[in-house]
Amino acid sequence: MRGIGMTEVALRSVSKLYGKQQAVQDISVDIRPGEFFVLVGPSGCGKSTTLRMIAGLEEISSGQLLIDGVVMNHVPPSKRRISMVFQNYALYPHMTVKENILFGLQVRRVQKEEQRKRLQHAAEMLGIANLLNRKPRELSGGQRQRVALGRAIVSQHPICLMDEPLSNLDAKLRGQMRSEIRQLQQSLGITMIYVTHDQVEAMTMGDRLMILRDGQLQQVGKPLEVYNQPANLFVAQFMGAPPMNTVNGVWRQQGSQTGIQLVEQEVDLFIPLAGTEGFTDGTPVVLGIRPESLLPATGEMRYTNHHQLCVTVRSVELLGSETIVGFMLGRECWKAKWNGQWPVKVGEVLDIVFAPEQIVLFDQQSGERLPVQSNDKEKIELWVKS
Ligand code: ADP
């Protein structure tokens, strides 16, 4: 017998049309048994629609949904062994916490003794045993969220779907619930499919993420894979805060040296970059670099193999644990993020350095990431000579 946590969910070329509007377009993905899988992307990109098709609340226009290898397209929601937690918690206001949690089991005519055991277990796990006789209006947002989780736990379904379950909570509680939900999923061993527009939630909670844009799949991968090797410019800028800095340029070969010439930016800057041989001279590219990869070049700190920019500070955000420094590179507003508290002032002229291997290149037309073999030792030496 397959136990909880052994359930996999697969989408095969799944699409959803609302009239003529394509809300979800040709999505294929295998969600592994016991995985915490996050659907992430900006509002309107098709996350909820995808989740609702998996739940059976929305018809699939074309393609197949498989649960444990069985096609589920026309199986009613109640037969899919899926529990769901929504943003608004969907609690019945006239029922107590206990009645709300047990409602699904009552409908399924689960034996009273079994109901009692499951309720006790869930209430203990969630720390709400003292709230069982209250009505939802007598609870805080966080407590209501726990009741909604309790309902999913007692169902003992092997798949749980969550749609923005934390967006009604304040920042501190959100942080706490993030780790609680993650722990809960692991201790129950269930397959979790979790929708959020918040890239921090996606990065911190997911075993893997699927990034959507306008109903189209952009990338599936582990959080750090997606962060370090974004498939395209959209993913690179969506994941990370502040977003990746970018600037347009063209790839040039100047004698034996290759690199990126920033031409359109009112700055005439050639950034030598090895490992890009094979590009055609004049290829339009977007150069990207993360804020944390732009380092301060102060007197005590010396870097070898780094490229240097001399910039005028336009903004300073002192966040206590880190400092975010804004400056213009041509017409682009760039940000550097440094650990700690830096006594930087607006108007100050600073040297900022970055390592060539931190540069990410994208095709200007398609936005796809371009390959750079930056770890080639010989080529890095070329950079040092520049
Ligand atoms: P997300 O959850 O990522 O915010 P949705 O899945 O809710 O996005 O929506 C995807 C697209 O489908 C949006 O353009 C939205 O306007 C559209 N859409 C969602 N539900 C319906 C509906 N019932 N009828 C028509 N269009 C819809």
Residues composing the chain: 386
The pLDDT of residue 316 is above 60: yes
208 within ligand 1 shell (Cβ under 6 A): no
Give the pLDDT band (50/70/90) at residue 303. low
Q: Whose CA is nearest to atom 5 of ligand 1?
A: 46
Q: Are strands 159-163 and 82-85 parallel, antiparallel or unpaired?
A: parallel
* Pocket of ligand 1 contains residue 136 by CB under 6 Å: no
Report the pLDDT value the prediction gives residue 34, as an integer from 0 to 100. 94
Confidence of residue 379 (pLDDT cuts 50, 70, 90): very low
Decide if pLDDT at 120 tops 60.
yes
Indicate the average pLDDT of the chain: 89
Q: What is the pLDDT of residues 123-142, one digit of tens each?
A: 988 888 999 999 999 998 88
Task: Write the DSSP string, 148-206.
Answer: HHHHHHHHT-SEEEEESTTTTS-HHHHHHHHHHHHHHHHHHT-EEEEEES-HHHHHHH-
Written as one letter, the residue type at 199 is Q
Angle between helices 97-107 and 141-155 (to 10 degrees): 20
Of the candidate ranges 53-57, 70-74, 233-237, 270-274, the one whose mean pLDDT is the lowest: 270-274
Task: Tell me if 20 CB under 6 Å of ligand 1.
Answer: no
Q: What is the reported pLDDT for 381?
A: 37
- The better pLDDT of the pair 46, 378 is held by 46
Instruction: Find, among 151, 144, 138, 152, the residue nearest to 177 by Cα.
Output: 144
Q: How far apart are CA 132 and CA 117, in angstroms?
A: 14
φ, ψ for residue 338, nearest 5 deg: -120, 145
- Evaluate if residue 107 carries a pLDDT over 60: yes
Distance between CA 122 and CA 68 in Å, rounded?
Answer: 26
337 vs 233: CA distance, rounded Å: 20
Mean pLDDT on 137-161? 90
- Residues 357-373: tens digit of each pLDDT: 899 999 999 999 998 87
Tell me the per-residue pLDDT of 248-295, one tens digit each, with 9 for 90 and over: 999 988 888 888 888 766 677 888 887 777 788 888 999 999 999 999
Task: State the amino acid at position 262 in one-letter form.
Answer: L
Q: Which residue has the higher pLDDT, 125 or 232?
A: 232
Q: Where are the alpha helices (DSSP H) in the chain?
A: 47-55, 97-107, 112-126, 141-155, 171-188, 199-205, 223-228, 233-238, 377-385
Nearest atom in ligand 1 to the alpha carbon of residue 197 is 3
Average pLDDT over residues 307-327: 94
Q: Is 112 helix (H, G, I), strand (E, B) or coil?
A: helix
Distance, CA of 113 to CA of 115 (rounded, Å): 5
What percentage of the chain has pLDDT greater than the value 90?
Answer: 65
Residues 6+ apart with CB under 8 A from 109: none
pLDDT of residue 376: 44
Instruction: Tell me, using a 6 A CB cutoff, whether residue 21 lines ligand 1.
Output: yes
Q: Is 379 in the pocket of ligand 1 (CB under 6 A)?
A: no
Mean pLDDT in residue range 64-86: 93
Pocket flag, ligand 1, residue 54 (CB < 6 Å): no
46 in contact with ligand 1, CB cutoff 6 A: yes
Contact status, residue 296 vs residue 288, Cβ threshold 8 Å: no
Which atom belonging to ligand 1 lies closest to the Cα atom of 52? Answer: 6
Asked if 289 and 358 count as a contact pair (C-beta separation under 8 A), the reply is yes
Task: Identify the CA nearest to 4 among candidates 192, 206, 188.
Answer: 188
Which ligand 1 atom lies nearest to the CA of residue 163? Answer: 2
Contact of 145 with 151, CB cutoff 8 Å: no
Q: What is the per-residue pLDDT across 47-57, written as a single tens digit (0 to 9) for each?
A: 999 999 999 99
pTM: 0.90
Q: Which atom of ligand 1 is nearest to the CA of 50?
A: 6
Q: Six-digit token pair at 81?
A: 């062994």
Measure 87 CA to ligand 1 centroid, in angstroms: 15
Asked whether residue 299 carries a pLDDT value surpassing 70, the answer given is no
Q: What is the pLDDT of residues 183-224, one digit of tens each?
A: 989 988 999 999 999 999 999 999 999 999 999 999 999 999
Burial 336-369 (b: 16+ CB within 10 A, else e): bbbeeebebeeeeebebbbbbbbbbbbeeeebeb
The tokens describing 207, both together, are 């075993």
Determine the pLDDT at residue 374. 57
Q: What is the pLDDT of residue 377?
A: 41
1 pLDDT tier (thresholds 50, 70, 90): very low
Please report the atom of ligand 1 found closest to the CA of residue 39.
3
Side-chain half-sphere exposure of 161, counting CA atoms within 13 A: 23
Distance CA 223, CA 384 (A): 32
Return the closest-CA partner of residue 183 out of 204, 168, 210.
204
